[in-house]
Amino acid sequence: MQFGLFSVSDVTQDPTTGITPSEAERIQATLTIAKHAEEVGLDVFAIGEHHNPPFWSSSPTTTLAYIAAQTKNLIVSTATTLITTNDPVKIAEDFAVLQHVSGGRADLMLGRGNTGPVYPWFGKDIRQGLPLAIENYALLHKLWREDVVDWEGKFRTPLQGFTSTPRPLDGVPPFVWHGSIRTPEIAEQAAYYGDGFFANNIFWPAEHYQRLIELYRQRWAHYGHGAPETAIVGLGGQAFMRKNSQDAVDEFRPYFDNAPVYGHGPSMEDFTKMTPLTVGSPQQVIDRYAGMRDLFGDYQRQLFLMDHSGLPLKTVLEQIDILGGEVVPVLRKELAKDRPATVPDAPTHASLVKAAYGDGPVRQPRPNANRGDNVTGGSPYQDTPAPQGAAFGLGGAR
């Protein structure tokens, strides 16, 4: 079972002080939060992708590469990568590089996001959001598994003899989670490919996500990946804790009431009844999240949103201390009790390599002199002299 944090990267005014951090301050705070997640024993740090204020994380792989370089064990991930408006070729390249520089400590969550205008910003039609998600992932899946790809689809120019570089580390693609808060077609897509399904259940009642997860598990079995309980499920969560419950409620209320995502809507009390948001003591959070498998079955990844709504860095770090020191150690034990041996652990690069090769040698992809290049089809290793006057390696003749 993996536990970690996810950030939506909002730059929000602290309602108790009226101070809004700069983008630079918020970015540096996020890096500190990610490193502290590892320091307290958490397993994963994930960050969303946004291209509009008040969010700053327009380039998640850049951020995650830096975090990977500053940590030793932390898995870095996204929450989410926009499969609809990013070119699948660029996703394949970016995450293969992240996989290499992190030593395999990288995976990703694909989704359609929650910002409608992002579609025209990147030249896409929001009315085609679901077909884009399906077609783009089909191409991404192929790019990571075939050294030379021919492709023709509806939404991008064809590819002929294309090789995405670098090739995945050890010949094993990063593990993919498909994130959804409402769409059964995404649960179907995750099941079809045998990928993970992340139900970011922080907004709607549990009954909605129970239906999505149950559909995913049934379709996982239908496609021959194993029994329903072997499907790979992740959940979102939110918590704010103090030793005394009322102190937590009093301190968090102004942040909740003014949050850009759910502020000025249902009361905090109503929202905590309907969603996993838990405001109270560490024990209340333990009790709430230990009961998640009663709702959704045994699952593999639990991520918490804790650095949002204008909470100052000092407070967020205190929350991470409580989460890592008091809550997660107990949850690891509680969620391991009576866990069937057939339920797999969350996939890691090491486990995927083991599944691919067993005890055999690991494939290390190398450039293939016979595959040609992506422009002319000619071999980049031909033993022929450069044209007279050519600037070798600098793009052509002078």
Q: Is residue 51 predicted with pLDDT exceeding 70?
A: yes
Q: Per-residue pLDDT averaged across 351-356, rounded?
A: 96
Q: Per-residue pLDDT averaged across 265-278, rounded?
A: 92
Per-domain residue ranges of the chain: 2-370
Pairing mode of beta strands 2-7, 159-162: unpaired
User: What is the per-residue pLDDT for 74?
Assistant: 98
Residue that the structure tokens 């230990």 belong to:
290
Q: What's the whole-model pTM score?
A: 0.91
Considering only 6-20, 127-141, 278-292, 354-368, which range has the smallest mean pLDDT? 354-368
Q: For residue 217, give the nearest of 180, 252, 191 by alpha carbon.
A: 191
Question: Rounded distance, CA 322 to CA 326, Å?
Answer: 5
Q: Spell out the residues 6+ positions from residue 175 whose beta carbon is closer than 8 angstroms to its own.
A: 107, 108, 195, 196, 347, 348, 349, 352
- Calculate the average pLDDT of the chain: 91
For residue range 301-335, list pLDDT tens digits in order: 999 999 999 999 999 999 999 999 999 999 999 99
Q: Is residue 32 predicted with pLDDT exceeding 60?
A: yes
Q: Is residue 191 predicted with pLDDT exceeding 50?
A: yes
Q: How confident is the model at residue 171 (pLDDT cuts 50, 70, 90)?
A: very high
| E strand intervals along 186-317 | 196-199, 233-241, 278-280, 301-305
For residue range 105-142, list pLDDT tens digits in order: 999 999 987 777 888 888 889 899 999 999 999 999 99
Q: Which CATH number fits domain 2-370: 3.40.50.10890, 2.40.50.140, 3.40.640.10, 3.20.20.30?
A: 3.20.20.30
What is the distance of C-alpha 274 from the center of its chain? Answer: 24
Q: Return the higher-pLDDT residue of 354 and 203.
A: 354
Q: Per-residue pLDDT averaged across 87-104, rounded?
A: 98
User: What is the per-residue pLDDT for 76?
Assistant: 98
User: What is the per-residue pLDDT for 369?
Assistant: 56
Q: Is residue 85 predicted with pLDDT exceeding 70?
A: yes
User: What is the per-residue pLDDT for 292?
Assistant: 96
| E strand intervals along the chain | 2-7, 44-47, 75-78, 81-82, 108-111, 149-151, 159-162, 176-180, 196-199, 233-241, 278-280, 301-305, 390-391, 396-397
User: What is the per-residue pLDDT for 264?
Assistant: 81
Considering only 72-81, 193-202, 321-330, 368-377, which range has the smallest mean pLDDT? 368-377
User: What is the per-residue pLDDT for 374?
Assistant: 55
Question: Rounded distance, CA 258 to CA 240, Å?
Answer: 15
